[in-house]
Structures are given as C-alpha cells and as structure tokens.
Amino acid sequence: MSRRRAARLKPLLLAFLAFACRTPLPPGGPLAPDDPRPAALLEALLQQSSLVQSVRGTARVSIEGQRGSGFAKQIVLMQRPAKLRLEVMGLLNQRLAVLATDGDRYQLYRAETGFESGEVGPSVLFEVSGLPLPPREAVALVLGGPRPGPDGWQADGAATLAEGGIRVQLAGSAEDARRSFDFDAAGNLRRYQVYAPGAGDLLLDVHYEDVRTVANTTFAYSIGLDFPTLGTKAQVSFGEVELNPELPAALFQLDLPAS
C-alpha cells in the first residue's frame, strides 16, 4: 500500500475502533470494531476502480419513471472522471440523439430538434435518457463504484450478510449523505446505497449483477439503479464491452454547425 493511500485510509481505520451504529445493520451480525475486513474491502474497491479508467460498449438502457417507461440501445463511452458520450440508437440503428460532455460543457444532438450546447448541469443526463444523475456520478457508478472525496469516509458500522458477504456503512459530515456498500464473499461490490443526511430517506439504490472478469479486472455487465424518492428505476445491461480503450478528447465533443 502506498503512503498516500495509507494516509487516506488511516482516519477510516481509526473510525472503526470507535464507531456507533446509527442505522440498522443486516441480520448476519455486526463485526467487531477491530475487524480488519471492512477496511480491506474498501481498499480493494479503491484499487479496483483505479484499474478501470474508461469503457466503450453497447448497452440496453431501460427507464421507468416520471416520463413513463421505455428502453433503447445505446453506444456508451465513458472516461474518468466525468467524460461521457451516449448515442441513442433507433430500431434501424439510426442515431436518435447524441450527448457528449467533457465534464464542463456538453453538446447535444437530437434528430427532431437539432443541436444545442451549454454548461454541464445536474439534469443534462436526465434530459437525454431520463437518468437523474450528473455525468460525473454516472461515470463513477458504471466504472466500478464511487470513490471518496478529499476528506475520505468515516465508518459507521459493518456486519456480515446472510450469503457470506459484508456490508460496510459509512457516514460523512452532518451535511453529507450516508452510504452503504454490500460486498459478496469474493469481495465484489454488489450493492451501493445512498441515504439523505441524518436518518434521511434512501436516495439511491444500485445493484451490480453479472460481474465478469475482463482484462484482468472485474466489470458488472448489469447495473440496476433505483431512485425511490423520485419514483424512477433504470437498468443498464451491457452487451459488448472494451475496458480502458484509448478515447481521444474529440469523442467527447460534437461538431456543432456554425448556425
């Protein structure tokens, strides 16, 4: 473990020595405060997510929510931390919409209305696909799970799951969302939940399924996302996948007409 990563995890390890569970843990039983497994799982998640920096693939994306339900085939290109390109394809493989963003600005093409562009906001992905996530968070979730902010995470409890995995609960500052990670017996992230600060509502529930080994790392080919407070559910099912391809910067920009 590098010194930088060890320093980043030190507050987390210390927090495990004195945590007090504020939210219900699964029935498998709480872990001892000095159990090393939760910190090891979080460290492995950081390493795993660092191995996957970009993806190119095709996916079937289905949405049930405020705009009704539907699905579409999409060509997906993502690169950390916030570069994203989605091409929504029709039944005849024609492009119905293309969204490209470098994380700061976006360009959008719709077959019905033409081109537009602007600064990236939290709803730009929702406008195209109905997914209520900012591009940066969508990239992180698809490429292997969330990463800690500059202040890291604070442990808020850990327990075994009935099927042999471990749930690790984390809490940030009083204003920050609480988070829960479910790892299976092999150490793969299978579920990720985000709660509103305090004893708030469940905001996001992510399930990782069909986890495969690709290019010496693991990748979830099926990702389910539930936004309970918004009444929205989404399912992303990948077909072809290429991990860590070279993605030129030009792919995350569209050539908009001068007019």
Domain with 125 in it: 54-141+244-252
Say whether both 42 and 118 belong to one domain.
no
Q: Does residue 14 belong to any structural domain of this protein?
A: no
| pLDDT number for residue 21 | 37
Of the given ranges (21-35, 46-60, 73-87, 167-181), which has the lowest mean pLDDT?
21-35
Residue 52 has pLDDT above 60, yes or no: yes
Handedness of CA 224, 77, 5, 45 (dihedral sign): positive
Number of domains in the chain: 2
Mean pLDDT of all residues in 93-100: 91
Residue 11 has pLDDT above 80, yes or no: no
Q: Does residue 180 belong to any structural domain of this protein?
A: yes
In this structure, the strands spanning 202-214 and 189-195 are: antiparallel
Mean pLDDT of all residues in 55-74: 88
| Nearest CA-CA partner of 74 in 228, 230, 255, 223 | 223
pTM score over 0.95: no
DSSP class per residue in 112-137: TTEEEEEE--TTHHHHHHS--S-HHH
Say whether both 119 and 229 belong to one domain.
no
Q: Does residue 104 belong to any structural domain of this protein?
A: yes
* CATH number of the domain residue 89 falls in: 2.50.20.10
Say whether both 45 and 127 belong to one domain.
no
Say whether both 36 and 71 belong to one domain.
no
Say whether both 90 and 25 belong to one domain.
no
Q: Does residue 13 belong to any structural domain of this protein?
A: no
Say whether both 136 and 173 belong to one domain.
no
For 211-240, the pLDDT digits (tens) are 998 878 889 999 999 999 999 999 999 999
| pLDDT number for residue 1 | 46
